[in-house]
Amino acid sequence: MDVLHTLSRELAALVDGAGRSVVRVDARRRRPASGTVWAADGILVTTAHAVERDDELAVGLPDGGEAEASLVGRDPLTNVAVLRVQRTDLAPAAWADPDDLRVGHLVVALGRPGRTVRARFGIAGAIGGEWRTPHGGRFDRYIEAAIGAAPGFSGGPLLDARGRAVGLTARGLLPRTVLAIPAATLRRVTDTLLAHGRIRRGYLGVGSHPVTLPAALRPRPDQDTGLLVVAVEPDAPADRAGVLLGDTLVALNDQPIRNPHELSAWLSEAQIGTRVALTLVRAGQPHHLDVVVGERP
């Protein structure tokens, strides 16, 4: 019993300490979310899906007060948003890259959907390498938490057993799954949003739908699908390059494109303004075009 009592006190102290870096985010109607202090000068991080408006943002602070917030920028592909409040006395979370986190390790999700901090305990349910979100954003690690995170926890930190934040708790990226946006991903995206207010990503200007390729038109044995072009935006890069409705996109720079996820992933890493080789199937024949990658509006 003494061991359990000691463990209980240590967990409570861990929550109390890390909870000083957790805020409430009022940025969507009737559904508060959580946020985490990134820097003492008023920089906060939360999930992009928790920020449904650009103005009239409010933050509930750990000391019980409230403050107006402004949106620095958001990145829906990685589900990260950065806010700023006019405070210089906030306590930043202690972030740690989850290199030593293993499946089965204790994790703690913190949130502040109301006035007080709340906690959910569980374990690391799955750990993996680099991962793409369904929208094409790149996570440096895949971290799944086997935890019952209640509504309002998104945007709060996911802690390891030492009280270090290994990521930002996020629901909605995968059905019925609680993931953590890794600290390294947060660092990369947050630094870019603070510097530029947005993430620059490649853009072709096409709408597409996966289709099965006839065996004779498959550019490689392991590629049985391509993307049928169902829309081309006027004066977009694809339009200027000569892409037509009914074309089927199968590769960019010889990299196979089988579905919208692969296209989004390719464009998220493409350098704006570069010329790339686009491989199509047109009227039952292979067709090649050069396209200059634009910037997503």
- What phi, psi does 232 have (nearest 5°)? -130, 120
CA dist list (Å): 251 to 29, 63, 75, 141, 256: 42, 54, 26, 26, 4
Check if the beta carbon of residue 111 is closer than 8 Å to that of residue 104. no
User: Half-sphere exposure of 107 toward its Cβ, with a 13 Å CA cutoff?
Assistant: 33
DSSP per residue, 176-238? T-EEEEEHHHHHHHHHHHHHHSS---EE--EEEEEEEPPGGG-SSTT--EEEEEEEE-TTSHH
Amino acid letter, 265: A
What was the pLDDT predicted at 194?
95
What was the pLDDT predicted at 13?
92
- Burial class of residue 131 in the structure, from the number of CB atoms within 10 Å of its CB (0-12 exposed, 13-18 middle, 19+ buried): middle
What was the pLDDT predicted at 181?
96
Extract the tokens encoding 147.
């935890």
Amino acid letter, 146: A
- Residue ranges and CATH numbers for the domains of the chain are 2-85 (2.40.10.10), 106-186 (2.40.10.10), 202-295 (2.30.42.10)
Dist. CA 40–CA 200, nearest whole Å: 27
What was the pLDDT predicted at 233?
96
Which residue carries 């006035």 as its tokens?
115
What was the pLDDT predicted at 234?
96
Dist. CA 54–CA 65, nearest whole Å: 21
> Which portions of the chain are predicted below pLDDT 50?
none
Dist. CA 175–CA 202, nearest whole Å: 27
What was the pLDDT predicted at 3?
72
Angle at 199 between CA 198 and CA 205, to 5 degrees: 110
- What phi, psi does 73 have (nearest 5°)? 170, 165
Dist. CA 16–CA 4, nearest whole Å: 18
- Burial class of residue 282 in the structure, from the number of CB atoms within 10 Å of its CB (0-12 exposed, 13-18 middle, 19+ buried): middle
- What phi, psi does 154 have (nearest 5°)? -55, 130
Q: Name the DSSP letter for residue 31.
A: -
- Alpha-helical (H) ranges within the chain are 2-18, 183-196, 237-241, 260-269
Closest CA to 92 of 47, 36, 15: 36
Q: Name the DSSP letter for residue 297.
A: -
